[in-house]
Chains A and B, each alone.
Chain A
Amino acid sequence: KNEVEQSPQNLTAQEGEFITINCSYSVGISALHWLQQHPGGGIVSLFMLSSGKKKHGRLIATINIQEKHSSLHITASHPRDSAVYICAVVWGGGSRLTFGEGTQLTVNP
């Protein structure tokens, strides 16, 4: 079984700040997801990564397979970015997922 750790658990930022959320895992994986969950409960997939770096608007995700570590960066943060961010690792042939506990991000105006 894979163990997934996220940090920090809680993060409060001022609008415009650069934010980084980290995820580390214990066993080899085939891919890693970054997910966003808003207070209403719905979950949206932001990225799926198997190597390198991906960018979508103000969001950037990186993964270092050798170090078993991934980061999610938010540039020029905005109050609408306030949500829980969850990393999930894919293993076991591609259909097993293990999740981190999530990072609660609050961005104040």
Chain B
Amino acid sequence: EAQVTQNPRYLITVTGKKLTVTCSQNMNHEYMSWYRQDPGLGLRQIYYSMNVEVTDKGDVPEGYKVSRKEKRNFPLILESPSPNQTSLYFCASSSRRTEAFFGQGTRLTVV
């Protein structure tokens, strides 16, 4: 079954404690992206990757890091989380000709 898997689904953490949200896809897609969704602001792109070892900033990259060492995985790293990074996060993958497939979402709370 074609899918994008994000983990964890829910996470509560404290300010400054490094965390990683994993994202994996099984469709051999070139493109992967991370988004955050906030009330009143909608979905915004954090980082994207066009292929292995090719990543670039989206609209709201501050405070986040990503890596794309393998085609299937695209983890999102928060080196020093702050309360303003409390949000609902989505990973997605696609290729030039396909629709985007989204992960189930990760609800992050930073206290």
Show the binding face of A for B, using Cβ within 8 Å: 1, 33, 35, 41-45, 47-48, 86, 88, 93-102
**Is B19's beta carbon under 8 Å from chain A?**
no
Give every chain A residue within 8 A of B105 (Cβ-Cβ): 41-43
Show the binding face of B for A, using Cβ within 8 Å: 31, 33, 35, 42-45, 48-50, 56, 58-59, 88, 90, 92, 96, 98-102, 104-105, 107
> Is A95 a contact partner of B100 (Cβ separation < 8 A)?
no
Closest Cβ–Cβ distance, residue B80 to chain A (whole Å): 26
C-alpha gap A95/B88 in the complex (Å): 21
Known: A43-B90, A86-B42, A86-B43. 8 other contacts (CB 8 A): A33-B100, A43-B92, A44-B102, A88-B100, A96-B45, A96-B58, A97-B33, A99-B42
Interface of A is mostly: strand
Between A1, A43, A44, A100, the greatest number of chain B beta carbons within 10 A of the residue's beta carbon is seen for: A43
Give every chain B residue within 8 A of A95 (Cβ-Cβ): 31, 33, 48-50, 56
7 A-B Cβ contacts within 8 A?
A42-B104, A43-B90, A43-B105, A45-B102, A48-B99, A88-B100, A98-B59
> Is B99 a contact partner of A45 (Cβ separation < 8 A)?
yes
Give every chain B residue within 8 A of A98 (Cβ-Cβ): 45, 59
List the 6 shortest-distance A-B pairs measured between CB atoms, nearest first: A45-B99, A43-B102, A99-B43, A48-B99, A101-B42, A95-B48
C-alpha gap A101/B40 in the complex (Å): 8
C-alpha gap A53/B56 in the complex (Å): 32
Give every chain B residue within 8 A of A48 (Cβ-Cβ): 98-100
> Is B44 a contact partner of A99 (Cβ separation < 8 A)?
yes
Between A1, A44, A45, A95, the greatest number of chain B beta carbons within 10 A of the residue's beta carbon is seen for: A95
Across the two chains, which residue of chain B brings its CB closest to A101? Answer: B42
Give every chain A residue within 8 A of B42 (Cβ-Cβ): 86, 99-102
> Is A42 a contact partner of B45 (Cβ separation < 8 A)?
no
